Chains A and B, each alone.
Chain A
């Protein structure tokens, strides 16, 4: 019985004008565009310099800062107050003030200090700007306190960090949306009635829906990983087998999620809006765009009930660190639970009679 249902679903998918395009175009476009849009590197920070010392050394330091590529020198001011008003006028983001005797103190004591004032209206620009600035200055022995060493992503490349997460996001969207639209579409056309009046068991019918989307998900995953490799030179440090194993469970979760929504909706619009509502929350609370550790505590607790969170973590760990089964099995167990819950829900919500 399942064989005939699968045959039907695959034929319908292949004849559909939309789904095959979706499988190829979406991953390529998203992987090409999103890592740039979701780039948290900050460049072109406007820097105002107040130099009271006016020595060759301070001039050289200023040049070094500008040549780092992160800063634009807006202007040099003669007083801190003037520089501050340039921040108020939104001309500059950061003020760097060299005090009088800065160079002499550096020569005699071996260290010296500067003042950095930051406009933190845009916290990212302010925070990252001042830390870039202090790391450049610390190389010159100015107020050196902490030395940061970055493992795993030494160039702070957000692309390396974002791409594995975006692959997860792609699988979520495609598996979630495409399956959410499926049963409800049969409801709208009326074909579901012809199925409901046959003795086909609910589980078999849902399995007949799940397996095709699962297959689509694997194709999508493979295309995405190839794109990540060709465009960003990014290849998982860890095992491909682990990625596919996790993806297998993960796709079951979101197909179950979509089928549940499809079973409770009566129109495609309703299904899309419901799926959209949940997927946005899942995406924002996944740690994909913003680190979970900087969320408020209640929001951090919410992320524990979010399957996206676990797979994003797993993908980053496998891609960047090469983590193996020993580190990942707890996430696997949790994902299995999610798969059971969502598909149980789908089974419960899909009714053959009303």
Chain B
């Protein structure tokens, strides 16, 4: 995922993101993607609206659009009361929802989420997935990594990697058919058993 986002330089292989090459066109890729890291990475010492404004500004949104989108975003997230709160003071679940909303603020073609729901309760996780569906409905491709196999069921297409290689890539339904089971957990176990690497 870090290679696709242009954060790491690939050693071999070939990949295109939003139509651009991951070797030479990383800065062009960055214009068209959103990214939410595993580690929370908005500015704790900036207020909620200031974080939205900063990233809106960085992606070159016009001033009025930043203001409108900030209002809309806060309304959807029910964060209007927290507008002037420092991000550092918010609970983790809210931070993650805010972080995701900021990652898609500039209407990217594709957004990368690196284990976005780690460490939050099932209710918050469910809400988070509702946000993901909303984004997908707007036409944004959502690329999620996860360790939770129930989350894999929510996806349109699933790829399972073993030892750094893609061992399966299909819809959850087709994968379950191929492995003759009724849940993604079993698909994962069947594939993961082949792993040779220790970690």
* Interface positions of A (Cβ within 8 A of B): 1, 3-5, 7-8, 11-12, 15-16, 189-191, 193-201, 352-354
Please tell me which stretch of B38-46, B147-155, B164-172, B189-197 contacts chain A, meaning at least 4 of its Cβ atoms lie within 8 angstroms of it.
B38-46
The answer to whether A5 and B45 touch (CB under 8 A), given A11-B50, A194-B37, A197-B33, is no
Cα–Cα, bound, A269→B81 (Å): 38
Within B38-77, the residues touching A (CB, 8 Å) are 39-46, 50, 53-60
| B30 adjacent to A12 (CB under 8 Å) | no
From B8, B40, B45, B50, give the contact of A353 (CB < 8 A).
Answer: B8
| A354 adjacent to B8 (CB under 8 Å) | yes
| A198 adjacent to B9 (CB under 8 Å) | no
* Nearest CB in chain B: distance from A7 CB, A: 7
Q: Which of A189, A191, A194, A353 has the most CB of B within 10 A?
A: A194
The answer to whether A16 and B45 touch (CB under 8 A), given A197-B35, A353-B8, A354-B7, is yes
Cα–Cα, bound, A5→B58 (Å): 8
Cβ of B31 under 8 Å from chain A: yes
Query: In the complex, which residue of chain A has the Cβ closest to the Cβ of B50?
Result: A11
Cα–Cα, bound, A201→B26 (Å): 12
| B30 adjacent to A4 (CB under 8 Å) | no
Q: Which of B40, B53, B55, B58 has the most CB of A within 10 A?
A: B58
From A1, A3, A190, A196, give the contact of B39 (CB < 8 A).
Answer: A190
* Interface positions of B (Cβ within 8 A of A): 5-9, 26-28, 30-31, 33, 35, 37, 39-46, 50, 53-60
| A197 adjacent to B42 (CB under 8 Å) | no
- Residues of chain A within 8 A (CB-CB) of B37 are 190, 193-194
| A353 adjacent to B7 (CB under 8 Å) | yes
Query: In the complex, which residue of chain B has the Cβ closest to the Cβ of A195?
Result: B58
- Residues of chain B within 8 A (CB-CB) of A352 are 6-7, 26
- A–B Cβ pairs within 8 angstroms, 16 of them: A1-B60, A4-B56, A7-B54, A8-B43, A8-B54, A12-B45, A16-B45, A191-B42, A194-B35, A198-B30, A198-B55, A198-B59, A199-B31, A200-B58, A353-B8, A353-B26
| A4 adjacent to B58 (CB under 8 Å) | yes
| B43 adjacent to A353 (CB under 8 Å) | no
Known: A191-B41, A354-B8, A354-B9. 6 other contacts (CB 8 A): A4-B57, A8-B54, A12-B46, A194-B35, A199-B59, A201-B27
